[in-house]
């Protein structure tokens, strides 16, 4: 670790910066090295200021949500790992039936909060263990729906090379986040055009498990348009949450160290291809299973026998084991079916 960089970051970020932080426990897969620099940020203005500063200094950073979709390499990691605090509370507008959640809040917590206020619509996220920020970035979802179905606006830190190329609406003020500085225009910093924008699902390019957000861009908060529920409807929805969770537990290894679905479901249609099961939709899990990969192991990592699109750490796996298994699945499925699986998970450190 560079002593001068450490000193520089300490001067800039004071107690918000920490050094040599193990990331293993911050990853759902329980794999990962340590962050040389770990920055915790809470308020919109501070986040925007920090990002502007890091970019000016040419320092690489990575935004980590709950780590439920990120495979982290072992060893010391050079990028500054940024995590948004989970302490900020959501803003609930019962007149408009909208809730604005800070990015650090967990999706499961967001569902609970919505139902506590008799607002429905967040249940698309049942069983997804990630944060709101990660969910927007990934357009997370289940068979019940996905982020883009109910997202009204997200407050996002974007960058542009020139303020005049900006076609995105600057944010008036992200609710429940620190007010933007009144002395400077809220949309653009003078040096590198880091600004907070207010964007809908189309502007964010939300599609199946993807968005157009670059790795340097950050979701600060997300506002969801929800539906008011009668007491009886709300009771029913709460029951649905429990039954859906129970159903997921039967078919997916939710309690294991995993990253959820490893690969996206390919868009091509299976029908007509030799040696693959007929299906209306091409599920990655079916391909992996049909390639006889269930239970296949690389060191401490294996393909789940319960759900073939989950890869699982038995507690002893290394990041190299995980990467080897990913590559084995990809090459085997390609050789057998001529289909290239696309990774849903994010890799950090390679």
Ligand X SMILES: Cc1cc2nc3c(=O)[nH]c(=O)nc-3n(C[C@H](O)[C@H](O)[C@H](O)COP(=O)(O)OP(=O)(O)OC[C@H]3O[C@@H](n4cnc5c(N)ncnc54)[C@H](O)[C@@H]3O)c2cc1C
Q: Work out how close the CB of 138 gets to ligand X at its nearest, in angstroms, rounded to a whole number.
A: 4
Interface with ligand X includes 142 (CB under 6 A)?
yes
Q: Work out how close the CB of 308 gets to ligand X at its nearest, in angstroms, rounded to a whole number.
A: 14
C-beta separation of 311 from 285 below 8 A: no
Q: Work out how close the CB of 340 gets to ligand X at its nearest, in angstroms, rounded to a whole number.
A: 20
Of 41, 140, 222, 319, which lies in the binding site for ligand X, with binding defined by CB under 6 A? 140
> Which CB, 10 or 294, lies closer to ligand X?
294
Q: Work out how close the CB of 232 gets to ligand X at its nearest, in angstroms, rounded to a whole number.
A: 27
Q: Work out how close the CB of 135 gets to ligand X at its nearest, in angstroms, rounded to a whole number.
A: 4
Q: Work out how close the CB of 152 gets to ligand X at its nearest, in angstroms, rounded to a whole number.
A: 17
- How far from chain centre, in Å, is Cα 100? 17
Of 40, 69, 189, 194, which lies in the binding site for ligand X, with binding defined by CB under 6 A? 69
Q: Work out how close the CB of 214 gets to ligand X at its nearest, in angstroms, rounded to a whole number.
A: 9
What is the SS3 assignment for 177?
coil
Instruction: Return the structure tokens found at 175.
Output: 């609710």
Q: Using CB atoms within 10 A of its CB, is residue 87 exposed (0-12), middle (13-18) or buried (19+)? A: exposed
> Which CB, 201 or 218, lies closer to ligand X?
218
Of 122, 138, 298, 311, which lies in the binding site for ligand X, with binding defined by CB under 6 A? 138
Of 102, 127, 174, 186, which lies in the binding site for ligand X, with binding defined by CB under 6 A? 127
Of 46, 168, 254, 323, which lies in the binding site for ligand X, with binding defined by CB under 6 A? 254
Instruction: Return the structure tokens found at 118.
Output: 């008799």
> Which CB, 182 or 350, lies closer to ligand X?
350
Which residues in the 186-245 window bind ligand X by CB under 6 A? 209, 213, 215, 218-219
> Which CB, 219 or 287, lies closer to ligand X?
219
> Which CB, 29 or 276, lies closer to ligand X?
29
Of 52, 129, 175, 266, which lies in the binding site for ligand X, with binding defined by CB under 6 A? 129
C-beta separation of 128 from 202 below 8 A: no
> Which CB, 41 or 339, lies closer to ligand X?
41
> Which CB, 101 or 337, lies closer to ligand X?
101
Q: Residue 314 carries which DSSP code?
A: -
Query: Which segments of the chain are extended strands (E)?
Result: 17-22, 34-41, 61-63, 70-72, 76-77, 80-84, 91-93, 98-102, 119-120, 141-142, 145-146, 151-159, 194-199, 218-225, 227-228, 297-298, 301-303, 311-313, 346-348
Which residues in the 1-30 window bind ligand X by CB under 6 A? 28
Q: Euclidean distance between the first and final Cα of the chain, in Å? A: 18
Q: Quote the CA–CA distance of 124 and 75 in Å, as a whole number.
A: 36
- How far from chain centre, in Å, is Cα 181? 28
Q: Work out how close the CB of 209 gets to ligand X at its nearest, in angstroms, rounded to a whole number.
A: 6
Q: In 3D, which of 16, 14, 3, 25 has the Cα closest to residue 315?
A: 25
Which residues in the 90-109 window bind ligand X by CB under 6 A? 103
Size of the residue set binding ligand X (CB under 6 A): 35
Q: 193's torsion region: left (phi>0), alpha (psi -120 to 50) or beta?
A: left
Q: Work out how close the CB of 306 gets to ligand X at its nearest, in angstroms, rounded to a whole number.
A: 11
Q: Quote the CA–CA distance of 113 and 14 in Å, as a whole number.
A: 33
Place of tokens 């809040």: 105
Q: Which residues of this protein are in contact with ligand X, per CB under 6 A? A: 28, 62-70, 84, 103, 127-131, 133-135, 137-138, 140-142, 209, 213, 215, 218-219, 254, 258-260, 346
């Amino acid at each position: 670790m560079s002593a001068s960089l450490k000193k520089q970051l300490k001067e800039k970020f004071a107690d918000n910066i920490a050094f040599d932080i193990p990331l293993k426990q911050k990853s759902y897969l329980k794999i990962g090295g340590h962050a040389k620099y770990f920055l915790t940020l809470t308020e919109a203005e501070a986040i925007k200021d920090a990002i502007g500063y890091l970019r000016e200094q040419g320092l690489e950073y990575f935004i980590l949500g709950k780590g439920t979709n990120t495979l982290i390499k072992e060893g010391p990691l050079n990028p500054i790992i940024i995590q948004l605090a989970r302490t900020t509370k959501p803003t609930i507008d019962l007149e408009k039936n909208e809730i604005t959640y800070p990015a650090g809040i967990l999706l499961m917590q967001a569902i609970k909060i919505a139902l506590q206020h008799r607002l429905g619509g967040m249940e698309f996220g049942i069983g997804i263990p990630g944060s709101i920020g990660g969910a927007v970035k990934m357009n997370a979802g289940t068979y019940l729906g996905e982020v883009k179905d109910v997202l009204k606006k997200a407050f996002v830190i974007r960058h542009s090379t020139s303020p005049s190329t900006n076609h995105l609406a600057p944010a008036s003020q992200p609710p429940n986040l620190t007010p933007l500085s009144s002395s400077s225009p809220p949309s653009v910093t003078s040096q590198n055009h880091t600004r907070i924008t207010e964007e809908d699902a189309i502007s964010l390019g939300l599609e199946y498990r993807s968005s157009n957000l670059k790795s340097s861009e950050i979701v600060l908060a997300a506002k969801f348009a929800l539906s008011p529920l009668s007491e009886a409807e709300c009771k029913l929805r709460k029951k649905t949450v429990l039954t859906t969770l129970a159903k997921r537990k039967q078919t997916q290894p939710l309690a294991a160290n995993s990253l959820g679905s490893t690969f996206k479901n390919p868009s091509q249609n299976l029908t007509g291809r030799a040696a693959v099961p007929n299906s209306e939709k091409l599920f990655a899990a079916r391909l992996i299973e049909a390639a006889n990969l269930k239970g296949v192991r690389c060191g401490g990592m294996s393909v789940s026998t319960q759900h073939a699109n989950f890869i699982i750490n038995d507690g002893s796996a290394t990041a190299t084991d995980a990467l080897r298994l990913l590559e084995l699945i990809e090459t085997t499925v390609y050789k057998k079916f001529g289909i290239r699986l696309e990774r849903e998970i994010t890799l950090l450190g390679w």
